[in-house]
Structure 1
Amino acid sequence: MNNSDLSIPGSIVLRKIALALMAASLALSLSACSKPAGSEMPTVASPQFGTVPEINFPAAPPPEAPVMKVLDDGDGKGEAVKDGDLVVVDYYGKVWGGDLMPDSTITDAAGPRAISLANPPIEGWKELSGVKVGQRVLLILPPNKAYGDMGASSIGVKKGDTLAYVVDVRLAVSADAASKFQVTPTNNPLPEGISVEADGQGAYTVNAAAAGAYPSEQATAVYATGDGPAVEAGQGVIVKRVSTDWNGHTTAADWNAGELISVSADSLGLADLPLGSLVLVVTPATPTADPQAELLQLVSAYDTNR
């Protein structure tokens, strides 16, 4: 208290002291709240790429924002994943504080999974942008980046659950990967009433407007061969795809916007074809859809066994 306070009535002095104490208390409260919720992270046993990990959760609540942490840097020379890439990953996922999710691929003999970051099953997979191929990362996804208020009962995720994944990034393929190949038309006959045309600018169209009766079985025809290495039996193949319903057609814009997906080399008879090749696939009708005429370009291949 300074000399000027001696002339102030006692009640005013007490009020000033009370206000000062309230300010100090508020500052301490704000300081305590500045620590982000859920700042304690899970620990991961067996953090090395390719091993079966285990995620152990702290007693603290989960973080409110996505977290990505590199667990194993690999050789550090893999290319970085970019926005919109298709990535091939192995992952081990748990609900925060809960059980292993049954769609985890690291414990599944079926092999790794291809996920398009342009249209991922959950928004949080986009957090892999910037991760290098060959790295293992820990990915924590709050509900707004995972299954939100809907949950996913088929894999044990309830409304509002936070998810934790250990992810091995095995391959990244960019949306424009098809443009790097030189292709040579084969002049092979195509199914009756179906044609494929190149526009000279790197785009292709599929025209099934003149197709006749519905096909009764799947058929494939190699429209052009690429100049890449040959696909091996048993591999997964990343393809650029554009398709049309029976009696329909595509445009160059459809091809340019064509999505990347993963298919089995064995199921479509793609083994021994060079990457870059263009293959027309005719698929019979199903109970819910007309036949499809699809043009696939083989852009990358990967081993499905570990």
Structure 2
Amino acid sequence: MRRLAGLIVAPLLLLSAVACGSEDKASDSASSQGGLPAITAGAEFGQKPTLAKGEGEPPKELKTEVVSEGDGATLKKGDQIQVNYLGQTWDSDQPFDTSFGKQPFDLTLGAGQVIPGWEQGLEGQKVGSRVEMSIPPKLGYGDQDQGPIKANSTLVFVVDVLKATTVPKSAKGTEVAQDNIDLPKVGTNTDGKAPSLTVPDKTAPTKLVANYVIEGDGPAVKKTDTLAVAYKGVLWKGGKEFDSSYARGGAPVSFPLSGVIQGWQQGLEGKKVGSRVLLVIPPAQGYGDKEQNGIPANSTLVFSVDILSASSS
């Protein structure tokens, strides 16, 4: 099972060299005029592209060209977005990854789910646009090999922005009584800040708990949905926090419900969008008898989860 900090099922986009750089946006409709590799086939939005190899030395800073501009909403941090993409390295004409012809890729912009070059290059673009980006190593995978991508590679992506949803900051709805003294208590603030999460000095439940803290009025979550959530996770034993979207800048996180631990899948399916949910997950539906990135083996996990939006691919 994977750690919740790595929820997205797109290994080559999961992340995290931290750096900053400048952005050079151009509105040229011909992808080769701005110095980036030419799109040699599938040039139209929605078509699977092919790219030529880059010529000369790659740009040292992030370079972004709008191949074709859409007329939809402008992307901003916190938006849940869906894209198709193709990626290759500057010195190759063969892709290392693509979603074209497969499943579109969902993410929340600004949540740190993808490499910094994506975060910076997509912010401010419009839904319906095709964008080409050249991403230097410091905004990509740096000096580490990443699967087929060699260390210190400049990355080139063609990205079609399919849709975007503005995600609320917090659950909102009707507070539900938390009167079971044997269960954790979750704060009911709706200001977008992390709620309190207090674990009692009791024996942990042996079965999954999935209770409303705040009941929203949105549609019921389906197991095939992609969700945007804000969450905090602590260990039942000792109440130590081990993961939190609030601690990473507060932007919500997007993930397909089918791609996370069993306790999340079973606990969130059927719950209403807009709700805050307490999850208490026994080891068998969490990480079992394996230690996971600081989470001890056989740990009971406690989460507060705000279900902010849900979309079907």
TM-score when normalising by structure 2: 0.69
Matched letter for residue 278 of structure 2: L
Matches within 5 A, 1:91-130: 91-98=85-92, 99-102=94-97, 104-109=98-103, 111-125=104-118, 126-130=120-124
The aligned residue for residue 234 of structure 1 is 224
Q: CA deviation at 1:241?
A: 0.8
The aligned residue for residue 158 of structure 1 is 150
Change (3 A) 1:117 1:265: same
The answer to whether structure 1 residue 260 and structure 2 residue 262 are counterparts is: no
Matches within 5 A, 1:75-86: 76-78=71-73, 80-83=74-77, 85=79
Change (3 A) 1:199 1:114: closer
The aligned residue for residue 41 of structure 1 is 36
Q: Secondary structure at the match of 2:121?
A: helix
Q: Confirm or deny: 8 A CA contact 2:111 2:252 kept in the other structure.
A: no
Question: Distance in 2 between the 1:216 and 1:106 partners?
Answer: 43
Question: Distance in 1 between the 2:110 and 2:219 partners?
Answer: 26
Identity level (%): 26
Higher helix share: 1
Change (3 A) 1:206 1:120: same
The aligned residue for residue 278 of structure 1 is 276
Q: Confirm or deny: 8 A CA contact 1:150 1:158 kept in the other structure.
A: yes
Pick the aligned partner of 2:211 from 209, 221, 238.
221
Q: CA deviation at 1:190?
A: 6.2
Pick the aligned partner of 1:54 from 50, 56, 61.
50
The aligned residue for residue 308 of structure 2 is 299
The aligned residue for residue 185 of structure 1 is 175
- For residues 131-161 of structure 1, give each alpha carbon's deviation from its aligned partner in whole angstroms, at most 9, with x where no partner exists: 1233221111122221222231x1x111221
Question: Distance in 2 between the 1:170 and 1:64 partners?
Answer: 28
Matched letter for residue 86 of structure 2: Y
Question: Distance in 1 between the 2:135 and 2:209 partners?
Answer: 42
Question: Distance in 2 between the 1:295 and 1:95 partners?
Answer: 40
- For residues 96-122 of structure 1, give each alpha carbon's deviation from its aligned partner in whole angstroms, at most 9, with x where no partner exists: 1323114x333444x413255242442
Relative contact order (alpha carbons < 8 A, sep ≥ 6): 1 or 2 greater? Answer: 2
Question: Distance in 1 between the 2:179 and 2:45 partners?
Answer: 46
Q: Confirm or deny: 8 A CA contact 1:87 1:117 kept in the other structure.
A: no
Q: CA deviation at 1:272?
A: 4.7
Pick the aligned partner of 1:168 from 147, 160, 165.
160
Matched letter for residue 197 of structure 2: V
Q: Confirm or deny: 8 A CA contact 2:77 2:109 kept in the other structure.
A: no
Q: Secondary structure at the match of 1:198?
A: coil
Matched letter for residue 130 of structure 1: G
Change (3 A) 1:191 1:87: farther
Q: Secondary structure at the match of 1:50?
A: coil
Change (3 A) 1:230 1:200: closer
Q: CA deviation at 1:85?
A: 4.9
Question: Distance in 2 between the 1:138 and 1:42 partners?
Answer: 9
Pick the aligned partner of 1:70 from 66, 78, 83.
66
Which residues of structure 2 form unaligned runs of 5+?
1-32, 259-264
The aligned residue for residue 194 of structure 1 is 184
Bigger radius of gyration among the two = 1
Q: Confirm or deny: 8 A CA contact 1:81 1:132 kept in the other structure.
A: yes
Pick the aligned partner of 1:207 from 150, 175, 198.
198
For this pair of structures, how many residues does the alignment match? Answer: 256
- For residues 208-265 of structure 1, give each alpha carbon's deviation from its aligned partner in whole angstroms, at most 9, with x where no partner exists: 133423x555432222221334444511011111122214177xx9968645222434
Change (3 A) 1:122 1:244: same
Q: Confirm or deny: 8 A CA contact 1:189 1:221 kept in the other structure.
A: no
